[in-house]
Structure 1
Amino acid sequence: MAVLLGAGQGMAAEADAPKGSLVIIGGALRSENVPVWSRIVSLAGGEGARIAVFGSASANPQFAGDTNVERLNKYGARAFFVPVAVTLAGTDYLAAADDPELAEAVRSAGGAYFAGGDQSRITRALRRPDGSNTRVLDALWDMYRRGGVIAGTSAGAAIMSSTMFYNARTVLATLKQGVEEGNEIAPGLGFIGEDIFVDQHLLVRGRFARMFPAMLKKGYKLGLGIDENTAMVVTADRQVEIVGYRGALMLDMKDATAREGMFNVSNVKLSYLDNGDRLNLATGVITPPREKADGKLDPAKPYYRGPLFSADILGNSTVIDLMARLIDSDQREAVGIALGSPLDKEPEVGFEFRFTREADSVGYQSPISDAYSVYRVRLDIRPIVVRQPLYQYR
Structure 2
Amino acid sequence: MPIRLPALPLAFVLAFGLAPAIARADARAGAGAAKGSLVIAGGALRADNAPVWSRIVELAGGRGARIAVFPTAAGNPARSGRATAEILARYGARPFVVPLSALLPGTDVKRAADDPALAASVRAAGGAFFTGGDQGRITAALRHADGSNSAVLDAVWDVYRRGGVIAGTSAGAAIMSKTMFYEGRAPLPTLRDGITDGRDIAPGLGFIGDDVFVDQHLLVRGRFARMLPVMLAKHYRLGLGIDENTAAVVGPDRSIAVIGYKGALLLDLGQATVDTARPAFNVADARISYLDSGDRYDPATGRFTPGPDKERVDPADPSYRGPLFVPDILGNTAVVDLLMKLCDSDQARATGIAFGDPAGTSPERGFEFTFTRTPESEGWESNRADTYSVYRVRMDVRPVKLTLPLYRAE
For normalisation by structure 1, the TM-score amounts to 0.95
- Match of 1:167, SS state, is coil
The answer to whether residue 395 in structure 2 is matched with residue 379 in structure 1 is yes
1:264 alignment counterpart? 282
- Match of 2:390, SS state, is strand
1:228 alignment counterpart? 244
1:86 alignment counterpart? 102
- Separation in 1 of the partners of 2:320 and 2:31? 49
Which has the higher mean CA deviation after the structures are superposed, 45-54 or 337-346? 337-346
How far off is 1:393 after superposition? 6.0
- Match of 2:312, SS state, is coil
The answer to whether residue 190 in structure 2 is matched with residue 178 in structure 1 is no
RMSD: 1.4
For normalisation by structure 2, the TM-score amounts to 0.91
- Separation in 2 of the partners of 1:393 and 1:343? 16
How far off is 1:298 after superposition? 1.2
Pairs within 5 Å for 1:152-231: 152-231=168-247
- Separation in 1 of the partners of 2:400 and 2:83? 46
1:316 alignment counterpart? 332
Pairs within 5 Å for 1:1-394: 16-260=32-276, 261-292=279-310, 295-392=311-408
How far off is 1:180 after superposition? 1.4
How far off is 1:370 after superposition? 2.4
State the Cα deviation string for residues 249-276 of structure 1 (Å, max 9, x = none).
Answer: 0000001011231111101100000000
Percent identical among aligned pairs is 61
- Separation in 2 of the partners of 1:10 and 1:368? 39
The answer on whether the counterparts of 2:259 and 2:293 sit within 8 Å (CA) in structure 1 is yes
The answer on whether the counterparts of 1:165 and 1:186 sit within 8 Å (CA) in structure 2 is yes
- Separation in 2 of the partners of 1:161 and 1:304? 38
How far off is 1:344 after superposition? 2.5
Return structure 1 stretches of 4+ with deviation > 6 angstroms. 8-11
**Structure 2 unaligned spans of 5+:** 1-6, 11-29
- Separation in 2 of the partners of 1:376 and 1:24? 22
How far off is 1:68 after superposition? 0.2
The answer on whether the counterparts of 2:9 and 2:237 sit within 8 Å (CA) in structure 1 is no
The answer on whether the counterparts of 1:9 and 1:284 sit within 8 Å (CA) in structure 2 is no
Aligned in 2, Cα 1:88/1:340: closer, same or farther, shift over 3 Å?
A: same
Aligned in 2, Cα 1:9/1:79: closer, same or farther, shift over 3 Å?
A: farther
State the Cα deviation string for residues 217-266 of structure 1 (Å, max 9, x = none).
Answer: 10001110000000000010111100000000000000101123111110
- What amino acid is aligned across from residue 295 of structure 2 in structure 1? D
The answer on whether the counterparts of 1:9 and 1:283 sit within 8 Å (CA) in structure 2 is no
State the Cα deviation string for residues 285-315 of structure 1 (Å, max 9, x = none).
Answer: 11011111xx111111111111111001001
How far off is 1:170 after superposition? 1.4
- Match of 2:351, SS state, is strand
- Match of 2:309, SS state, is helix
- Separation in 1 of the partners of 2:122 and 2:47? 24
The answer on whether the counterparts of 2:290 and 2:391 sit within 8 Å (CA) in structure 1 is yes
2:23 alignment counterpart? none
Count of aligned residue pairs for this structure pair: 383
Which has the higher mean CA deviation after the structures are superposed, 82-91 or 327-336? 82-91
- Separation in 2 of the partners of 1:74 and 1:10? 40
How far off is 1:389 after superposition? 3.2
- What amino acid is aligned across from residue 303 of structure 1 in structure 2? S
